[in-house]
Amino acid sequence: MVRSATRPPSGLPGLQDRFSRIVDAPGVGADAGTRRGWHVLDTGPALAQLGIETVGTVLAVHGNPTWSYLWRALANESLAAAESGGTAWRVVAVDQLDMGFSERTDVRRTLEQRILDLGSLTAELALDGRVVSLGHDWGGVVALGWAVRHPELLAAVASLNTAVDQPSDLPIPAALRLARFGPVLRASTSTSPAFLRTTLALANPPLPTEVKAAYSAPYPDRASRLGIEQFVADIPVDEDTESHEALLGVSSGVAKLEVPALLLWGPRDPIFTDLYLGDLMRRLPHAEVHRFEGAGHLIAEDAPYATHLLTWLDDVAAGRARRREQPANSPAPVSVHSSAPMWAALDEHRDDPSVAALEMGRGPDGAPLAVSWRQLAARVDELAAGLSAVGVRRGDRVSLLVQPGVTLTAIVYACLRIGAVVVVADAGLGVTGLSRAVRGAWPDVVIGQVPGLTAAKVLGWPGLRISATSIPASSRAALGVAHSLAEVAELGRGAPLPDAPGPDDLAAVLFTSGSTGPAKGVVYTHHQLQAVRDTLRDTYGVTAESGLVTGFAPFALLGPALGTRSVTPDMDVTSPRTLTATAVADAVIAADARIVFLSPAAILNVVATRDALDATQRAALERVQTFLSTGAPIGARLLDDACTLMPNADAHTPYGMTECLLVTDIDRDGISAAALAPDDGVCVGTPIGSNVVRISALDSTGAARGEPSDEPGVLGEIVISAPHLKERYDRLAMTDRAAARELPPQGRWHRTGDVGHLDDEGRLWVEGRLPHVFVTADGPLAPVGTEQDLETLPWVRRAAVVGVGPAGTAQAVAVLETREPTRRVRVAEAELADALRASTTHPIAAAFIVPELPTDIRHNSKIDRSALAAWAERALSGERVSAP
């Protein structure tokens, strides 16, 4: 039954009625000889009425079973941006024929027909020269199909959760398989609104009732829903589907697109999983990619996609967005990077029988497991050639679910040698966090021990699976293991190695701790990893004779690259607090080590367990020459406690992060001198080498909007630049863009998210995290300075200060962990409260004593102030609360 196009009813939430219009366009293909009515949302007339000239048009195509309402945020925000003087893009969001409020026809619309339909409409609209195609769901295929066939109009392409290929070995989701056939197809898609309701239920968080009603408005009865039925029936799932040939044309054409591309993705999508994202990334290797953690299929409802899309469109308009690089006619330029590769020391020590690496507590009867340089070099070669033999290629991602130690060390260097990208995420992230990280990186290979392989199987992680240890055949089959590491090494024994990667090739994806939100993958090239190694070596004088003990995971693998023997102490690396003084001493003895790396949480327990040391162990610790605390800034008192164990060590506490592992450095004397200064925060010293530190000042709302400066005494966000700064965040293009905005145009910079200030001597003082700043009546207040004041009281072990109340009038609340542990939460008694207030110049409105402060999961040292603030607000409101 043919029904004319109509406008939507007025008052739909978020939809401006003035955008709605009806456009008649010639029918094409199977529809030739007709004219069809399209409903579109079009901001063009509103822009013209304002006298605003546009730079181009965003052509937005919805999928099934939505309509142009999906793009209302983009229409609204783009117009608002243009009105405020920003880049003016016209948005034309279509209702496909037989969908939304467009005409209902009696023509069966295949993928080919829909691409032709869209071309007829754009011709009728006379779009010219600078069009960005945008699509979602199966509308993404239609939009990309249009883009492939209209290169003369195309400026860029963007997609939200779509696919242009259905792998033959991957079944489509069960719900779609069931819905595509016979009575179920009709019953679920047109006879009833089940398919529509199921799709709307995928939103996270759930859609408001009025928004669901708006999406349902064009589809009140079976006749209006026939397009939904046809769309499902036409899904090109295999070569027998009529639209399969058209899909092949789209998928092959997409791989040839040279224009800028953006892929915005909701990873919780049960239909378009990250497998389809990976396929699109292979076809569009220059595409910028952003995964919105927590978002799913209805990403346009789940995430602020429009804001990010418009930011990218600004760069498209300015010619700054990335395009596909064309093959050059001349040879590739020689890299300017001259640093030796990460495995160079292994090649130099290939015939050296002395110890290269030890693993405490892992050998027979708990004895250290030691490997020589000769053994390690041979093992790395075998694994590298073996991985190549089983199909691992340069650029492939290898997720490592192996405890730090000699096995992990060999795997890492084997991957680096063949150019595979190592993906490292702490088990300390927990099952949910680890799964999010691994799936986000979407590895080609997973190498793990049984717990990691079990998680990979249960949670559906992708990748060829290789077991780090030999396991029974039944377990191999159950876990989907294709090879053991021993088998891989056997395949590689005596086999040639592939060409080595170059310094600009990707080397690693290292995940952040997750202490400030979902863990982010940080991408490093080989050159940047080499710069980390060189900075560490040059700053701390690491030599072949140094020997290295590290209880801090990021540096646990650097021993072979530094050309010095290294040892992993006996501890649970996912919980630094498990490291004891005796374990550190035994590791120092085993490696005859002169350098010790520990995290702040590890230091706490090492100091707490020092009474268990015997005379031999104490003597070994007295021989340590360099001690570093890395992972989080620490104060003078904790460093002094550690130095009582290593009295002859030159103690340092470098400041850094996963994105840039070494930024500044300060030694014990520097900390002692800083303790006499009146500054708030933890002094972390001066920039290392050629590193640069700047401060972006906080405004009256607590936002960091100041131009990065080295002016002393200014509280703001810490901004850094360094040779070993990360390449980018992995598949978080919009996070990268946000971090780069308003930064100096020259060089590579990173907004750290930390707040602090520089002093007159150029030293950096860290005062907390940007999200933990709260605005009092006196202005923004960072927490660390006040916390340090409180920790000067002899009975306070650790303190956290959080803001409670509205911005501008927030009150400082102290939450304390005492040296004499308490078993319950209590309000500080009057005498204690008075002592707290007297210890700091910043007003304290209230104080709580708790058994333990909540900390992050990697370092066990970074206090979760956001959680504490919410807890304190509940407690102060009179709610009965348990320990935070």
Please write down the HEC assignment for all residues of 674-707: HCCCCCCCEEEEEECCCCEEEEEEECCCCCECCC
The pLDDT value given to residue 465:
95
Same domain? For 186 and 66 the reply is: yes
Q: Which residue has the higher pLDDT, 509 or 431?
A: 509
pLDDT at 85: 94
- Assess whether 428 and 503 both reside in one domain: yes
Q: What CATH number corresponds to the domain at position 238?
A: 3.40.50.1820
199-212 in b/e form (b: 16+ CB < 10 A) is bbebbbeebeeebb
Q: Which of 717, 738, 772 is the last residue of a domain?
A: 772
- Residue 393 placed within a domain: yes
Together in a domain, 35 and 183: yes
Three-state SS sequence of 33-98: CCEEEEEEEECHHHHHHCCCCCCEEEEEECCCCCCHHHHHHHHHHHHHHHHCCCCCEEEEEECCCC
Q: Does the pLDDT at position 174 exceed 60? A: no
* C-beta neighbour count of 500 within 10 angstroms: 15
Classify 426 as helix, strand or coil. coil
CATH code, domain carrying 379: 3.40.50.12780
- Residues 780 and 766 both lie in one domain: no
570 within some domain:
no
Q: Do 30 and 173 fall into the same domain?
A: yes
In a domain, 766, yes or no: yes
* Residue 611 in domain: no
Residue 852 in domain: yes
At 828, the pLDDT band (50, 70, 90 cuts) reads confident
Q: Is there a single domain that holds both residue 299 and residue 254?
A: yes
What CATH number does residue 714 fall under?
2.30.38.10
Whether 155 and 233 share a structural domain: yes
User: What pLDDT sits at residue 711?
Assistant: 96
883: which 2 tokens?
Answer: 């320990």
CA distance 257 to 754: 40
Which of 751, 772, 793 represents a domain boundary (last residue)? Answer: 772
Q: How does pLDDT run across 708-739, given as a tens digit for each residue?
A: 999 999 999 999 999 999 999 999 998 888 77
575 belongs to a structural domain: no
β-pairing, 369-372 vs 595-598, is unpaired
Predicted confidence (pLDDT) per residue in 39-59, tens digit = 999 999 999 999 999 999 999
Q: What is the pLDDT of residue 331?
A: 36
Residue-level pLDDT at 858: 44
Total count of domains within the chain:
4
Nearest to 170 by CA among 237, 231, 255, 244: 237
Rg, C-alpha atoms of the chain: 30
**Averaged pLDDT score across all residues of the chain:** 89
Answer yes or no: do 78 and 89 share one domain. Answer: yes
pLDDT in tens, 119-159: 999 999 999 879 999 999 999 999 999 999 999 999 999 99
Residues 299 and 350 in one domain: no
Mean pLDDT throughout 559-573?
86
Structural domain boundaries, residue 732: 661-772
- Same structural domain, 361 and 304: no
**Cα within 13 Å of Cα(646), Cβ side:** 30
- 304 and 359: one domain? no
Are residue 305 and residue 362 in the same domain, yes or no?
Answer: no
Classify residue 853: in a domain, yes or no.
Answer: yes
List pLDDT tens digits, range 855-873.
654 444 567 788 888 888 8
Provide the CATH number for the domain around residue 805: 3.30.300.30
Cα–Cα separations (whole angstroms), residue 27 to 24, 243, 882: 9, 19, 67
Rounded average pLDDT over 524-538:
94
pLDDT-derived band at 440 (thresholds 50, 70, 90) equals confident
- Best CA proximity match to 596, nearest among 638, 625, 637, 558: 625
In a domain, 335, yes or no: no
How many CA atoms are closer than 13 Å to the CA of 441, on its beta-carbon side? 32
Which of 745, 772, 799 is where one domain is finished? Answer: 772
Q: What's the token pair of residue 23?
A: 């456009």
